[in-house]
Chain A
Amino acid sequence: MTSAQDVAQQIERRDIRNRWLLSAPALVIIFLAAIGPLLVMVAYSFMVKGDYGDVRFGEFSLDGWFSVLFWRDIFDDTIGLADAHLSILWRSIRLSFITTALTLAFGFPTAYFIATRPPSTREVWVFLITIPFWTNLLIRTFAMQEVVRNEGILNSLMIWSGIVDQPVQIMYTDAAILFGMVYVYLPLMVLPLYASMEKLDFRLVEAGYDLYATRARVLWRIIIPLVRPGVIAGSILVFIPSLGAYVIPRVLGGGKNMMLGNLIELQFGAGRNWPLGAAMSITVMLIVMLALLVYVRNATRSGVQHG
């Protein structure tokens, strides 16, 4: 009793099994590299901190989670809000948001420029965009220090051209961090934007002009809705690493202008409070997931459904 339907079902089942087999290595890596450590983090966040770092295994405690937002006076046990943590959280979100906006503002024209070049030269431009990735992030960040510090290139130029007569303090400010993050994350915005603009049918742009849309309106009503997937992807790719940035705020922001990455590092290092560090990490992750959910929901609601 092997009807055509049965055969079709068998083939389908085999297809599904083969697909699982093919994705098995990826699944194993994802599990070992992402989900495994995550479970460890969750476990650590509920344990008692060890005196010299680490945790005391098997001893349950909510102190880690408590300390994310609150703070207990060691002398009289009064409870207060952990202002420092909140202000660092707020700064991180603010700077990441501004970074995303700036990379979008700079990246959009760049991607548009590349996408409107003749196909043969586009590859060259994309190649040029990826050149910064060849150098280690740490080295690039230190190089940026050379640009923004008081005796650095930027200040020397400004003094030489007479715009200012005193060096402007850029180093160790939020401006320096922003400068660094925009520079480092710009390619992550340009590449996905370019990928969707390359697929854009420029005849639609002409149709827009033909129907009395000015350049600005063609941009808003036609180009942006059609490259929305690229805008979403680019924003996610920039926002997430910005929120967890560590090297850039460390080198360019100094000890005072911490971001979440530095705060978490502190708990695992000098702070010797691993449960708190773990709880903070998970908090950041939840914030990111929530933000993504809201963003993607809003961004795709009126957008094109790509099937």
Chain B
Amino acid sequence: MRGTALPQAQPAEEWGVCVSESAGRNAIDVRGVRKVFGSGDGQVTALDTVSVSIRENEFFTLLGPSGCGKTTLLRLIAGFEFPTDGQIMLHGEDIALLPPFRRPVNTVFQSYALFPHMTVAENIAFGLEMLGKSRSEIDGRTADMLKLVQMEELAKRKTSEISGGQQQRVALARALAPQPKVLLLDEPLSALDYKLRKEMQLELKQLQHETGITFIFVTHDQEEALTMSDRIAVMSTGKILQVGSPHDIYEHPAERFVAGFIGETNFLDAEVVATSAGSATVKLPSGKQIPAGLPEGFQPGSRVSLAVRPERAQIVAADADATLAGVIDNLVYLGTDTHFHLRLDGGEAFIVRQQNSSGSGINFATGDRVGVILGDDAAQILKD
């Protein structure tokens, strides 16, 4: 969907909110926001003192399991809900109490929420009309948008007469047409089939890059979050646990929940022996000492959990020098990879993922006694 005319993030004066543009500022600042639904016994704390900053031109993803408060945070930013406590700033301006129609923020709804009584083109033009743009500008921009999402041929169709993927494109075009400062996307791809979803992931990412609009994207699909985002916030039960680049989140999960939610992870018990900046030496129950990544706040002597990604471990023939030792419980051949499900000597389960092209040449079978060696930065100490 590469059109010639792409909407650019536009100067702030066009909007009612007076903001000054300066490079590197945050598009959105969420400060100590709490959101409580209901009262008395039925009270639900959907967001529990959430603070997060989203930079300009960033593809920012909110990732978390169902019910963790992703939609709630998005709705607070859009203005459909108002925070119980805290501030929401757009370019440094508190917008927490502005109604949605005064916020230069648009939403792509999970259900798309296209107006059924309007055509595709009318849907896309709606926001521009409400902003009081001139007819020629509305028509021009609508045509650009139709081109951008490759829907020119279907412009006159009713929205009930187009496919799910096409509806998704219209929803996107409708939200982009008024050139918002921030675009909110609530699981916009979840209704699409796998192939279309992959396609749209790439298109969305490219669109974000070209328009320079800040995207806040909600998903509970960790793979989607890793492939698309500049930064990810991992949420659980109304809290943001960790914010970081996909690499950070994957390689250096700070908490057990994050490590477990994103990708497969092995957990090991250990004791901190010595610490230095950013890393530590830990002792495993077997007595072996290994290096491990260290978040702040751990002293030598503290008992900790380690996270080890299955692909960071390597399986070797049983050997006294190996870091871990155990028996192969199960062996899953996956074409490019083989997964070894081990039972360690301490009784824990441990998974090793080995690429089949690595040509190790050793064939292991179920029931074999094997060793596991870990790379220098394979283990990460978890906060919890």
Contacts and interface: CB of A to CB of B under 8 A. Distances in A.
Interface string B112-148: 0111110000000011001100000000000000000
A75 interface: no
A304 B116 CA distance: 8
Nearest to B177: A211
B81 to A, nearest CB: 10
Contacts of A206: 80, 100, 107, 109, 113
B113 A209 contact: no
B101 A207 contact: no
A214 B113 CA distance: 17
Interface string A207-221: 111111110010001
A6 interface: no
B275 interface: no
Given A203-B109, A207-B107, A225 B117 contact: yes
Given A206-B80, A206-B100, A207-B107, A213 B130 contact: yes
A212 B107 contact: no
B61 interface: no
B78 interface: yes
A226 interface: yes
A210 B117 contact: no
A302 B154 CA distance: 20
A212 B117 contact: no
B300 to A, nearest CB: 53
Contacts of A209: 79-80, 99-101
Nearest to B105: A210
Given A206-B80, A206-B100, A212 B113 contact: no
Nearest to B80: A206
Contacts of B80: 206, 209-210
Nearest to A205: B113
B130 A303 contact: no
Interface size classification for chain A: 10 to 19
B178 A304 contact: no
Contacts of B131: 212
Contacts of A222: 115
A208 to B, nearest CB: 8
B229 interface: no
Contacts of B174: 211
A268 B220 CA distance: 75
A213 B79 CA distance: 13
Contacts of A303: 117
Q: Which of A206, A207, A208, A210 has the most CB atoms of chain B within a 10 A radius of its CB?
A: A210
Contacts of B117: 225-226, 303-304
Contacts of A138: none
A203 B130 contact: no
A207 B113 contact: yes
A221 B178 CA distance: 18
Interface string A37-81: 000000000000000000000000000000000000000000000
A204 interface: yes
B109 A212 contact: no
Contacts of B314: none
A282 B295 CA distance: 89
Contacts of B101: 209-214
A204 B115 contact: yes
B111 interface: yes
B106 interface: yes
B100 A203 contact: no
Contact of A203 (B102, B105, B111, B178): B111
Contact of A211 (B111, B116, B127): B127
A212 B130 contact: yes
A43 B144 CA distance: 66
B115 A210 contact: no
Contact of B126 (A201, A211, A226): A211
Interface of B: 78-80, 99-102, 105-107, 109, 111, 113-117, 126-127, 130-131, 174-175, 178
The 5 tightest CB contacts between A and B, nearest first, are A211-B127, A212-B130, A207-B113, A209-B100, A203-B113
Given A207-B113, A212-B102, 18 more contacts: A203-B113, A204-B116, A206-B107, A206-B113, A207-B115, A208-B126, A209-B79, A210-B100, A210-B101, A210-B175, A211-B126, A212-B101, A212-B127, A212-B131, A213-B101, A213-B130, A226-B116, A304-B117
